[in-house]
Chains A and B, each alone.
Chain A
């Protein structure tokens, strides 16, 4: 059963703590993406990776870090440097090329207490 998974669904953290969000795909896609969505707003690109061991900053990378050690995994770390981390985080994957659709995971809702 192919797809893209994210865990956990809900995440709570205290201010000053780093937290890592998981994203796994078994679609054999080369490209993976992390987006942030705030209420009533569109998706904003945080980081993307088009190949293993390589990733690029998106529009709002400050306060976030990623790694791409395996093709199927693209974890996102929200660091304490991120000023307003409470948001809905979405991971996606796609085949290479701009005309390909993106497949999204179910999302992780992060709340900073």
Chain B
């Protein structure tokens, strides 16, 4: 069955450093992969979409990579700020044309 793995342990980093979050998927080959941010008690907010033929996508301090051979996407936040603290969800596209969401990784940026 299709499976998505994100590090369930919180990632703690110092302000100004680069945060790197990992999303691994198995048993399918998504044509698209999306990343969302979710704050406690709120709905997710879309951040970036990357296509299978794109190796990398950037938006301001955010960068996403998509390695279809490794079946992995990496999500980077450069020059991280305490306001970046949240849970980040990856959502590869599944065979039924829907998004399948990972469990998310909580990022804590300390001042």
Contacts and interface: CB of A to CB of B under 8 A. Distances in A.
Interface in A19-37: 35
B44 interface: yes
Interface string A51-67: 00000001000000000
A110 to B, nearest CB: 13
A48 B97 CA distance: 11
B46 interface: yes
A51 to B, nearest CB: 14
Interface residues of A, number: 22
Contacts, number: 51
Contact of B93 (A43, A98, A104, A105): A98
B31 interface: yes
Interface residues of B, number: 23
B44 A104 contact: yes
Nearest to B43: A104
A43 B26 CA distance: 18
SS class of chain B's interface: helix, strand, loop or mixed?
loop
A104 B45 contact: yes
Contacts of B46: 101-103
A77 B5 CA distance: 30
B103 A40 contact: yes
A110 B49 CA distance: 31
A98 B97 contact: yes
Interface in A59-81: none
Contacts of A48: 98
A101 B34 contact: yes
Residue of A41, A88, A98 most packed against chain B (CB within 10 A): A98
A107 interface: yes
Nearest to A88: B41
12 contacts: A35-B101, A42-B102, A42-B103, A43-B101, A45-B98, A45-B100, A90-B44, A92-B43, A99-B49, A99-B51, A106-B43, A107-B42
Interface of A: 35, 40-45, 48, 58, 88, 90, 92, 98-99, 101-107, 109
